[in-house]
């Protein structure tokens, strides 16, 4: 009996050790992950923190101003994510080309991103110039809480017209910064982001409130500050890249021609199109969810805007882990190190979920503090605090979904990510919000809670897909190989 007990104890110890080795890496592993993730965290964190300050500055001018700006930013967010999705499709190849030491391949993906950026810019300008006010008006229906929808529409329209000038610089920044990150250079985009947020913050203060002799332009001043910051960010990242050709060999001769071989362009498009459509539909789905919540009043629009802006400051910690997966696992797959890719993606996901749990506690602890800074109604502040509590509760779930998405995407399985992400959004999440917002009197926060709860289904699907190794593919060589 004592021998059996000792044998059982030994088995338990062995199982514990196996679990630890599976989900927890050594110091060298975490140093390598954090070397990539921390600069992205810093850049995104400062950007989102300045967005928070920007949001507070605009919010202190009034609820209508803040609501108009929030609606426009939600709409422009669709363009941002279309760029993210489209460039990410080519970026999958960039990371694997870099892992295979193929500079010409990286050069082709860079040019492809430029062409795609031009197409997305033309589409965005067409939509916003001709339908901008109609889109903003969709969020200003059914308000019966004392807000002024006409004023919110006027502020939003003025803000949108100026913000359009920032879109070309944003697209170019993404082309350069994404390529640098996919090739392992994350510090330079961070520095460019820091310069941009400094410019944005300074000119927000000067132009929103009219300080040091500048005119007080309110929301238009916030838009001008954003435009200036985007061009500064582009200047920093482009100048550095072209001055350091020894570290960015792909940039040599990149503009001698913008031609991309048709076969490669077709390959990038077929891989990236599902990502582009996915991000377009997903961001449109997020815009639709906000429109559903907005039917509960202008205070809800303001509250959702506050909670999203605050939570974004915290969420950069585990969102950066998704970028780390895209870079590290993509390079492993490009080098055909399939077993290493499998082991490290499990550890990064576990690390991300652990960090997200801590982030959730931080959001919950501060949920009542940030809303009181805003010059808005007590109802909007209360709604914001409650939305933040729900965000805090679901933060580990969001981290799991985010890292699962990037794992599947790293192997070029973009059709699966399309089904996993945006199809789920429009088949499950949007109908729940649509039906509850229009056919019940349920409080907006409870609608948000139920929408988030449905994502547990997606968590289960993500875990199954990762365990089955459907993402383990090398997509830059002539032959495809699947890791075991």
Asked whether the predicted pLDDT for residue 379 surpasses 80, the reply is yes
Question: How many CB atoms within 10 Å of residue 446?
Answer: 13
What's the confidence (pLDDT) of residue 481?
40
- Overall average pLDDT of the 418-436 stretch: 89
Whole-angstrom distance, CA of residue 303 vs CA of residue 97: 44
Whole-angstrom distance, CA of residue 230 vs CA of residue 193: 9
What are 103-162's pLDDT values in tens digits?
Answer: 888 899 999 999 999 999 999 999 999 998 998 888 887 555 556 788 888 998 999 999
What's the confidence (pLDDT) of residue 480?
39
Asked whether the predicted pLDDT for residue 423 surpasses 70, the reply is yes
Q: At CA 171, angle to CA 168 and CA 173, rounded to 5?
A: 110
Instruction: Provide the b/e sequence for 79-100 (b: ≥16 CB within 10 Å).
Output: bbbbbbbbbbbbbbbbbbbbbb
- Overall average pLDDT of the 1-16 stretch: 55
Q: What is the DSSP letter of 183?
A: T
231 vs 43, higher pLDDT = 231
Asked whether the predicted pLDDT for residue 100 surpasses 70, the reply is yes
Whole-angstrom distance, CA of residue 276 vs CA of residue 283: 11
- Overall average pLDDT of the 227-242 stretch: 94
Using the Cα atoms of residue 315, residue 321, residue 322 and residue 324 in order, give the sign of their dihedral. Answer: positive
Torsion of CA 370, 425, 326, 322, to 10 degrees: 20
What's the confidence (pLDDT) of residue 16?
57
The mean of the pLDDT values for the chain is 83
What's the confidence (pLDDT) of residue 106?
87
What are 27-76's pLDDT values in tens digits?
Answer: 887 887 888 788 777 767 766 776 667 777 777 777 788 888 888 888 88
What's the confidence (pLDDT) of residue 274?
78
Q: Is 452 helix (H, G, I), strand (E, B) or coil?
A: helix
- Overall average pLDDT of the 349-377 stretch: 87
Token reading at 139: 């969020």
Name residues whose C-beta falls within 8 Å of residue 64's C-beta, 6 or more positions apart in sequence: 147, 148, 151, 152, 155, 298
Whole-angstrom distance, CA of residue 333 vs CA of residue 342: 10
What's the confidence (pLDDT) of residue 377?
82
What's the confidence (pLDDT) of residue 479?
38
- Give the domain ranges of the chain: 25-467
What's the confidence (pLDDT) of residue 21?
65
Whole-angstrom distance, CA of residue 142 vs CA of residue 92: 43
Using the Cα atoms of residue 280, residue 283, residue 286 and residue 292 in order, give the sign of their dihedral. Answer: negative
What's the confidence (pLDDT) of residue 478?
43
What's the confidence (pLDDT) of residue 144?
55
What's the confidence (pLDDT) of residue 319?
74
Place of tokens 């229906």: 141
């Amino acid at each position: 009996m004592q021998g059996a007990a000792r044998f059982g104890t030994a088995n338990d110890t062995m199982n514990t050790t196996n679990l630890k080795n599976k989900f927890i890496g050594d110091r060298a592993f975490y140093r390598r992950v954090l070397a990539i993730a921390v600069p992205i965290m810093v850049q995104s964190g400062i950007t989102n923190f300045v967005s928070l300050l920007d949001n507070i500055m605009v919010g202190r001018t009034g609820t209508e101003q803040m609501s108009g700006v929030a609606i426009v930013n939600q709409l422009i967010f669709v363009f941002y994510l279309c760029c993210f999705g489209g460039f990410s499709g080519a970026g999958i190849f960039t990371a694997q080309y870099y892992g295979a030491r193929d500079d010409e391949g990286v050069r082709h993906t860079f040019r492809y991103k430029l062409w795609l950026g031009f197409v997305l810019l033309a589409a965005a300008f067409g939509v916003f110039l001709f339908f901008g006010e109609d889109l903003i008006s969709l969020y200003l229906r059914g308000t019966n809480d004392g807000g002024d929808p006409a004023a919110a529409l006027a502020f939003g329209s003025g803000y949108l017209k100026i913000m359009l000038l920032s879109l070309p610089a944003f697209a170019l920044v993404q082309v350069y910064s994404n390529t640098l990150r996919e090739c392992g250079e994350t510090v330079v985009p961070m520095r460019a982001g820091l310069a941009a947020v400094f410019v944005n913050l300074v000119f927000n203060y000067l132009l929103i409130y009219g300080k040091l002799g500048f005119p007080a332009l309110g929301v238009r001043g916030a838009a001008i500050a954003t435009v200036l910051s985007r061009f500064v960010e582009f200047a920093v990242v482009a100048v550095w890249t072209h001055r350091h050709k020894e570290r960015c060999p792909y940039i040599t001769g990149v503009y001698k021609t913008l031609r991309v071989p048709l076969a490669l362009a077709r390959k990038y498009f077929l891989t990236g199109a599902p990502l582009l459509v996915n991000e377009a539909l997903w961001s449109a789905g997020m815009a639709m969810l906000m429109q559903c919540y907005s039917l509960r009043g202008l205070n809800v629009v303001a509250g959702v805007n506050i909670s999203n802006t605050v939570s974004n400051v915290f969420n950069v910690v585990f969102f950066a882990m998704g970028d780390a997966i895209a870079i590290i696992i993509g390079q492993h797959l490009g080098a055909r190190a399939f077993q290493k890719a499998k082991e490290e993606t499990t550890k990064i996901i576990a690390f991300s979920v652990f960090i997200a749990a801590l982030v959730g506690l931080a959001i919950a602890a501060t949920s009542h503090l940030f809303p009181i800074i805003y010059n808005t109604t007590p109802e909007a502040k209360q709604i914001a605090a409650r939305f933040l509590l729900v965000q805090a509760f679901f933060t580990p779930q969001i981290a799991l979904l985010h890292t699962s998405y990037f794992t599947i995407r790293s192997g070029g399985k973009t059709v699966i990510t399309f089904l996993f992400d945006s199809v789920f959004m429009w088949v499950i999440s949007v109908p729940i919000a649509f039906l509850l917002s229009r056919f019940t009197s349920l409080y907006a926060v409870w609608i948000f809670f139920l929408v988030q709860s449905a994502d547990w289904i997606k968590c289960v699907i993500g875990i199954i897909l990762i365990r089955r190794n459907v993402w383990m593919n090398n997509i830059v060589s002539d032959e495809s190989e699947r890791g075991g």
